[in-house]
Amino acid sequence: MTEANDTLAKLDAAADWVRQRSGRVPVLGIVAGSGLGALAGLVEEATRIPYAQIPHALSPTVIGHAGELVLGKLSGLDVAVLSGRVHGYEGHPTEDVVFNVRLVARLGAKRFLVTNAAGGVDPWLMPGMLCRIVDHLNLTGKNPLTGPNVAALGPRFPDMSKPYAPALGAVLERAAERAGVTLHAGVYAGLTGPSYETPAEIRMLRVLGANLVGMSTVHEVIALNHMGVEVTGLSCVTNHAAGVSSAPLDHAEVAQIADEAGPKLLALVRAFAGLLAEKSN
Ligand code: HPA
């Protein structure tokens, strides 16, 4: 297990290294999930840094995940986009999975938008719909804060009563109106994967109060809450979850639907950054 000092030293080494490549202090961090990498293409005056070059950062191995940090401007706001993420199912310790979001928070981002591709647990959730994540169920059996607490990052027992900040969620809702995009809302269940769920597991998730299901996000949101970062979340529904329809689940299809929802998502994120830029001026 990594010592607390180790975690901090690695983060600071990575942050110093990034600062030498771009002096930009991001106000907003954005995680671009499966098939949503086009988000990184929106960034202007961009400095693109492959994760592979950043000291101590891991690179994703999944198709559809680019693996680069993009610093620049979006709708006039200083942003850092994490294009592609590392997942626990790739075999990495949870603490390493959250390294990149912690890095962006260390660079200065006090707010974060996390996006993902998700299965619709409720039958009314159709492929291509966008959903604001209002809360989550961490069903991975893991927590990125396990081990010695890094007190310089946050408290031992962080409050999780507002994991997705209502005020920031309200900005996302307004951005959806402005962009003319329909935005639904739901609770996201994070499971380990990499196998998709069984129909019985999806029925269980429904009973537990989940509307969406995926294999990411929850650990990042815990690590960001620990650091006092305000988070909002956005799921692109890429498929009916197992058993909701009789079709088998396929990663290529998930990536394709995420791709097709791209323009809606981009318009929404652009409007969201624009509203935050207006607020900060
Ligand atoms: N289950 C888990 N993860 C997912 C799904 C799903 O149905 N769709 C996209 N990511």
Residue range 168-197: mean pLDDT, rounded: 96
Is there a catalytic annotation at residue 215? yes
pLDDT at 2: 53
Q: Whose CA is nearest to atom 10 of ligand 1?
A: 118
- pLDDT tens for each residue of 45-54: 999 999 989 9
Q: Whose CA is nearest to atom 6 of ligand 1?
A: 119
Identify the active-site residue in 40, 51, 57, 65. Answer: 65
Domain harbouring 225, CATH code? 3.40.50.1580
- pLDDT tens for each residue of 82-102: 998 888 888 889 999 999 999
Amino acid at the residue 200? A
> Ligand 1, from 213, 218, 245, 251: best to mutate by most atoms within 8 Å of Cβ?
213
pLDDT at 197: 96
Would you call 35 helix, strand, or coil by DSSP? coil
Ligand 1 atom closest to the CA of 197, numbered from 1: 1
178, 126, 98, 111: CA torsion to nearest 10: 10
Q: Domain span at residue 55?
A: 3-280
Ligand 1 geometric centre to CA of 119 (Å): 4
CA 197 to chain centre: 20
pLDDT at 281: 59
Ligand 1 geometric centre to CA of 223 (Å): 22
Ligand 1 geometric centre to CA of 8 (Å): 33
Q: State how many domains the chain has.
A: 1
pLDDT grade, residue 35 (50/70/90)? low
Identify the active-site residue in 87, 136, 219, 226. Answer: 87
Ligand 1 atom closest to the CA of 242, numbered from 1: 7
pLDDT grade, residue 190 (50/70/90)? very high
Full-prediction pTM beyond 0.85? yes
Is there a catalytic annotation at residue 245? no
- pLDDT tens for each residue of 223-257: 999 999 999 999 999 999 999 888 887 888 777 77
pLDDT at 1: 45
Is there a catalytic annotation at residue 56? no
Ligand 1 atom closest to the CA of 191, numbered from 1: 2
Query: How many other CB atoms are found less than 10 A from the CB of residue 113?
Result: 27
Is there a catalytic annotation at residue 117? yes
| Cα–Cα distance, 82 to 174 (Å, whole number) | 24
Helical segments of the chain, H only: 4-21, 94-97, 99-106, 166-179, 199-208, 218-226, 251-260, 262-280
> Ligand 1, from 203, 254, 257: best to mutate by most atoms within 8 Å of Cβ?
254
Residue ranges around ligand 1 (CB below 6 Å): 117-119, 196-197, 213-215, 238-239, 241, 249, 254
Beta bridge partners of 73: 44, 78
